[in-house]
Structure 1
Amino acid sequence: MAHDYVSSVLLLLILLIFLSQRTVSSSIVKSLPGFDGPLPFELETGYIGVGKEEEVQLFYYFIKSERSPQEDPLLLWLSGGPGCSSISGLLYENGPVTVKLEVYNGTLPSLVATTYSWTKVSSIIYLDQPVGTGFSYSRTQLVNKPSDSGEAKRIHEFLHKWLGKHQEFSSNPFYVGGDSYCGMVIPALVQEISKGNYVCCKPPINIQQGYILGNPSTENEVDNSYRIPYAHGMALISDELYESMKRICKGKYENVDPRNTKCLKLVGEYQKCINRINKALIITPECVETSPDCYMYRYLLTTYWANDESVQRALHVNKGSIGEWVRCYREIPYNHDIKSSVPYHMNNSIDGYPSLIFSGDHDMEVPYLGTQAWIRSLNYSLIDDWRPWMIGDQITGYTRTYANKMTFATIKGGGHTPEYKPEETYIMFQRWISGQPL
């Protein structure tokens, strides 16, 4: 009898542990170490389990719109990499706080409020994905590596579970956004959500409003090949070298046939000209993160901040769930199984989803020339031809709009992500989501 009772209690305990592990855990964060005083916005952090046994625990930061969270759009913002933490979006690109740029003295780096947060007009979920990124982790050894198409499915599952726990946001206009490598995953994710709305998943996700991508990876060969004409246009290589490369390499600068020794020699000369250029923003010096004079020094400060025990406690990170936090896990096991996201853009525009594609025009990682080339390949007619877009009486960039509800915009002087021109990208986003022309 006693044995049966003990067995029942054990079973009940196992069941309770199993159920507690399967629930969505979330916490409200009122203050953050390094930030002076209470947070002037509503922050929630948490985990959502995805996969059959919910073995993958995806970590997120959720910030409510500072204007009208009941009506304002809900935006899911992803960082690229793959393997870069969404803290990059929150602290550098479009969030309400940023890391104060000052020389590290052994104490916790400081956070300060920003003036350009997209949370002024929308609620944002910043998601650490794929598993192994930021604070996201797996409770078991992964059988399959994460992949582009797999992430589109996982993030879709995450969204349904998140909205299930936050039903007050299920009817808000919904957008997906991100930059850099997200250009491979987001168009597939939009298609996944669209299919799910018709086929399987209730309540539907209100994605009629569309998606937004900055300097998006789209097709590696195209993106990378356009670095050469871009380098020429920016006076980084000579006319003669560019003309020779065009003639001898015939526009193929990636994976050159080893027998084409003339082309290989020219590619070597090109590399010599650009190998000290900071590709993310060509007008800034190439330097190491540890140099306090360098823009990227903020990444080092963020690493100190996010690895601090008091910070992880404040963010309600599961103790012992990850080793050292890294901003970008460059060696993340990952299967790049979408070779081109152009077909997904095509399907999404056929389905009527609007999109805003923007490019910092001083980015050489994914130069705007390559982005314009794949947009042209969609073969849509122009509704609004190339023109400057302004903030006050200043030209901020150039834009054009296509019949497939796709808007393309450049950010003058901008780099690979919105962090280089945050005020300008905020105004661009705010105009676009409110249906105004840029």
Structure 2
Amino acid sequence: MAFRKLTNMTILVLILILILVITASSSKPVDTLPGFPGKLPFNLQTGGHGIRAAILLVRGIRKESRGRSSFALADWRPRLFWFLWPRLRSPLMFDYAKSRGSGTLPTLKLNPFSWTKVASMIFIDAPVGTGFSYATNPESYGVTDTLAAAHNYQFLRKWLLSNPKFQKNPLYIAGDSYSGIILPILVKTISDGNEIEGGGKRMNLKGYILGNPVTDLSVDKNWRIPFYHKLALISDQFYQATKTNCKGQYINVDSSNAACFQNLQLVSECVRNIFTAQILEPNCFDAATKEAKAFGWDPSNLTHHNQLNLLLPNAFHHTPTWCRSYNYVFSYIWANDGEVQTALHVRKGIKMEWNRCNRSLSYTYDVTSTVPYHKYLINKDYKVLIYSGDHDAVIPYLGTMTWIKSLNLSLKRDWLPWYVGGQVGGYTLQYTQGNYNLVYATVKGGGHTAPEYRPEESLAMISRWLAGFPI
């Protein structure tokens, strides 16, 4: 039940800034955005494509540099098609210091660690009903894991056919968290489609990227307790007793195993007040959810600028400790502003309110493990990066390493540190099989997901990997 609650949150949490929008089956340029001074120093387009009765949304970002046009750069830059949590990979971010308590629209600034520095990126709000995406047919809001992958495949095909100049760009499918379920299905679908389609319709798929990925419900959850032990959240004695009584299986426990249940209850008590997404950070209420009404504010009122003085910082006097989730408030204020929606070409009258998490959708979880998809893909010529924030207890790195090892690949490079600015950024392994190459990396101090907590290190990681260098 706890995992279902997690997936409801993560698959529907989309975007903090640069919300994806729809006008028609074409894109429109966005030159300025409320909250950012002057013209945008990069090329941003927003638009969408209809897929059956649903409309999935896209934004394309092409980073510009002095002396060269964005389209010239697009001739060679790899393209990343990104699922979930793109906020710290985007070229803009909120300037929290200038926005807090200002009584005006939140201020935007350039993100120094944006992944658009090394790749052109397409972000998509999916499934339909998230962000500003919508469907004209109510039945289209009912989605499954496999249907979500199919929708995204249809979208990519339509987008590339509409933008043939990008057909030859190296394409990587990327995402984190629950996209670990959707993405491998999509990659297999693209791979199979490429074997059928002619050269003019083939996608130039080079590989895929997954961060802190949900992969196998049993493996991911079962490694949480060993992770708690390794990170000193439960004692050696307590861990050994739990391991013995539960026989190393901490989920789907036999109801007659009273000793195991008792141990698991004690484990739950030990970690009850731990922020599992990054165990070193404080455990706080989510400042970007409806539940936060209990703390004196209502996100439904955040379209009014005068709410800022009430919200920040005084609204958080109940918990004096700084909490990362407090910053999510700005996404509600910014995305629900009328001028922002006009600048982004949001179609009027379709969506009444932007929510960071849409828990009202009808979503069926019909895939419990994508390990079989990975095993299928190891026979292809793909370049793969899997990374984990090593302080994430939601999807512990131990579980991710376990299912990677189950692929039975050849170990090319054993566990070694990688560096940023002369300091250890994490550790890495490299596996191969034929022309299939998989790099696994931990991001030291990273949480769920790593770039939010360690943006500089994560940019260095993706930059080196895309360039073909060791991380």
TM-score scaled to structure 1, two decimals?
0.89
2:326 matches 1:297: yes
Secondary structure class of the residue paired with 1:142: helix
Cross-structure match for 1:101: 96
CA distance in 2: counterparts of 1:259 and 1:295, whole angstroms? 41
Q: 1:100 to 1:308 in 2, by over 3 A?
A: same
Contact kept in structure 2, 1:101 and 1:297, CA below 8 Å: no
The alignment of Structure 1 onto Structure 2 pairs a total of residues equal to 404
Distance 1:244 1:321 in 2: 55
Instruction: Output aligned runs, 1:16-35, within 5 Å.
Output: 24-35=25-36
Q: Which residue of 1 aligns with 2:457?
A: 424
Among 352, 362, 369, the alignment partner of 2:381 is 352
Amino acid aligned to 1:401? Q
Question: C-alpha displacement at 1:104, in angstroms?
Answer: 4.2
1:175 aligned counterpart, secondary structure = strand
- Any conservation in 1 of the 2:62–2:74 contact (CA below 8 Å)? yes
Give the alignment partner of residue 142 of structure 2, picking from 132, 142, 145: 145
- Determine the structure 2 residue equivalent to 1:37: 38
Quote the Cα distance in structure 1 between the aligned partners of 2:141 and 2:130: 16
Q: Secondary structure at the match of 1:48?
A: strand
In the TM superposition, what is the alpha-carbon distance from 1:225 to its structure 2 partner?
1.0
> One-letter code of the match for 1:72?
R
Deviation at 1:99, TM superposition (A): 1.4
Unaligned 5+ segments in structure 1 are 1-20, 80-87
Contact 2:30–2:44 (CA under 8 A) maintained in structure 1: yes
* Superposition deviation, residue 106 in structure 1: 3.9
Do structure 1's residue 310 and structure 2's residue 310 form an aligned pair? no
Name the structure 1 match of 2:82: 77
Matches within 5 A, 1:328-367: 328-367=357-396
Task: Return the letter of the residue paired with 2:469.
Answer: Q
What is the aligned counterpart of 1:412 among 422, 441, 444? Answer: 444
The answer to whether the 8 Å contact 1:31/1:37 transfers is: yes
Cα distance between partner residues in 1 of 2:245 and 2:362: 36
Trace 1:24-423 onto structure 2 (pairs within 5 A). Answer: 24-51=25-52, 55-66=53-64, 68-79=73-84, 88-89=85-86, 92-102=87-97, 103-142=100-139, 145-200=142-197, 202-207=200-205, 209-290=206-287, 291=316, 293-404=322-433, 405-417=437-449, 418-423=451-456
Residues 54, 140 of structure 2: 8 Å contact kept: no
The code of the aligned residue for 1:61 comes to R
Paired amino acid for 1:40: P
Partners of 2:277 and 2:233 lie apart in 1 by 15
Quote the Cα distance in structure 1 between the aligned partners of 2:234 and 2:401.
21
| 8 Å CA contact retained: 2:23, 2:346 | no
TM superposition shift of 1:282: 0.7
Q: Is the 8 Å Cα contact of residues 65 and 72 (structure 1) preserved in structure 2?
A: no
CA RMSD of aligned residues (A): 1.7
How many angstroms apart in 1 are the aligned matches of 2:64 and 2:276? Answer: 35
User: In the alignment, is the contact (CA less than 8 A) between 2:430 and 2:439 conserved in 1?
Assistant: yes
Alignment-mate amino acid for residue 98 of structure 1: M
Cα distance change of structure 1 residues 347 and 74 upon mapping to structure 2, 3 Å threshold: same
Give the stretch that moved more between structures: 426-435 or 345-354.
345-354
Name the aligned partner's letter for residue 428 of structure 1: M
Structure 1: distance between partners of 2:254 and 2:142? 30
Question: Shift of the alpha carbon at 1:105?
Answer: 4.5
Tell me the secondary structure at the aligned position of residue 139 of structure 2.
Answer: coil
> For the residues of structure 2 that align with 1:44 and 1:242, how far apart are their CA atoms?
52
Contact 2:23 2:345 in 1 (8 A): no
Q: How many angstroms does 1:397 deviate by?
A: 0.5
CA contact (8 A) 2:23 2:47 kept: no
Deviation at 1:138, TM superposition (A): 0.5
Q: Which amino acid in structure 2 is aligned with residue 95 of structure 1?
A: S
Separation (CA, whole Å) in 2 of partners of 1:409 and 1:330: 32
Is 1:437 paired with 2:470? yes
**Unaligned regions of 5+ residues in structure 2, if any?**
1-21, 66-72, 288-315
Q: Report the 3-state secondary structure (helix = DSSP H, G, I; strand = E; otherwise coil) of the residue aligned with 2:138.
A: coil
* Other structure's SS at 2:398 match: helix
Cα displacement string for residues 288-342 of structure 1 (whole angstroms, at most 9, x for unaligned residues): 2444821111211111111111111111111121232111223431111111111
Amino acid in the other structure paired with 1:107: T
Amino acid at match of 1:48: H
**Helix, strand or coil for the counterpart of 2:215?**
coil
- The answer to whether the 8 A contact 1:357-1:406 is kept is yes
- Does the CA contact (< 8 Å) of 2:387 and 2:441 recur in 1? yes
Q: Which stretch has the larger CA shift, 103-112 or 123-132? A: 103-112
Contact 2:82–2:175 (8 Å) recurs in 1 = yes
Q: 1:323 and 1:341 mapped to 2: Cα distance?
A: 35
Provide the identity percentage. Answer: 45
SS of the counterpart of 2:395?
A: coil
Q: 2-side partners of 1:320 and 1:259: how far apart? A: 55
Match of 1:85 in 2: none
Question: Residue 127 and residue 115 in structure 1: after superposition, are their counterparts in 2 closer, same or farther (change >3 A)?
Answer: same
| Residue 9 of structure 2: aligned partner | none
Cα deviations by residue, 1:349-373 (Å, 9 ceiling, x for unpaired)? 1112121000010111100000000
Alpha-carbon separation, structure 2, partners of 1:310 and 1:259: 60
- Check 1:341–1:112 CA distance in 2 against 1; reply closer, same or farther (3 A cut): same
Paired AA for residue 47 in structure 1: G
Give the whole-Å Cα distance in 1 for the aligned partners of 2:93 and 2:261: 43
